[in-house]
Chain A
Amino acid sequence: MEENEQEQQTESMFDISISPSVIHSLRETCRWARIFVYISGSLIILCVLLFLFGWSLVDSAFYRVYGELESIIVGAAVVVAVVYIFFMALLFNFTMKVKKGIDEWNIQKIEQGISSLKLYFLLSGILGALYLVLGAITILKILM
């Protein structure tokens, strides 16, 4: 039993750990990510408010530019806003959980936070790939 514990301790000595430098980086990352969420969240809320209160102006301007495609463009804008808010929620969750986890020295909270960060980068990677594929299709269509 004791030997087993000693083995585990020796293994963890050679494994990566949450060192003071890692803690400092994570804390600072959380701070900057939270500021980013606050600023982008405020901008999105401002855009939504402008959209809602200035709908009559936006409506006529959109109709002039896009004509019959107006409803599709508005629908796409709403989808983009929802996706963006979801992304910001994931990032906010990451910052709160990791900060709490470090303050309380609780590995489960840090795990939950990093899990949100994983989802954030996974979704942005998938969206980036989709954007590239759509761009490539458009270029191919233009060339053909």
Chain B
Amino acid sequence: MEQQNLLSDITDMPFSPRLKEDLRTAAIWARLSAIFSFVTTAFSCLQNIVNGSLFSAFIMAAVSITIGIYLFNFGNKTKKGIDHIDQPELEEGLNSLRVYFKTLVIIIIIVVSLLLLAFLFGGFSSTINYR
């Protein structure tokens, strides 16, 4: 019994064919989404630069490219890992997915905090002006 437990501890669960196929499709579409987001960001940045708002163009490009790179890495490495039966590549790909969601959360928290601050200071300054 103990030996069996030890065996199940050291033997990893294999990927089922369905799991492999679904993860592969997810990776392909994630990579496409990342490419689309790069192109969209490039167009938006161009538009912002033409309008003269360089700072917002820079911020938008930095955020979108950072997120896009992690998504692209997830798609690329996971697909490669599954196709070439390469465990370290697959692990790196899944780690990129983790970092992608982590970055999304951090960015959304920063944006919400800035909006809240703007809302609070806006309300505060309008109250002072009213008095």
Contact = CB atoms under 8 A, between A and B. Distances in A.
Q: Which of A26, A124, A129 has the most CB of B within 10 A?
A: A124
Contact of B25 (A28, A39, A107, A122): A122
B121 interface: no
A96 interface: no
A18 B98 contact: no
B90 to A, nearest CB: 5
B40 A16 contact: no
Given A17-B14, A114-B23, A128-B33, A36 B94 contact: no
Interface string B1-45: 000000000001111101110110110011011001101100100
A33 interface: yes
Contacts of A29: 94, 97-98, 101
Nearest to A18: B13
Interface string B77-121: 000011001110011001101100110110011001000000000
Nearest to A121: B29
B12 A33 contact: no
Nearest to B23: A114
**Max count, chain B CB within 10 A of own CB: residue among A25, A35, A39, A122:** A25
A19 B19 contact: no
Given A12-B14, A18-B12, A111-B16, A125 B105 contact: no
Interface in A1-27: 12, 14-22, 25-26
A21 B108 CA distance: 27
Contacts of B18: 111
10 contacts: A16-B20, A16-B90, A17-B15, A19-B12, A32-B104, A35-B105, A39-B105, A111-B22, A122-B29, A128-B36
Interface of B: 12-16, 18-20, 22-23, 25-26, 29-30, 32-33, 36-37, 39-40, 43, 81-82, 85-87, 90-91, 94-95, 97-98, 101-102, 104-105, 108-109, 112
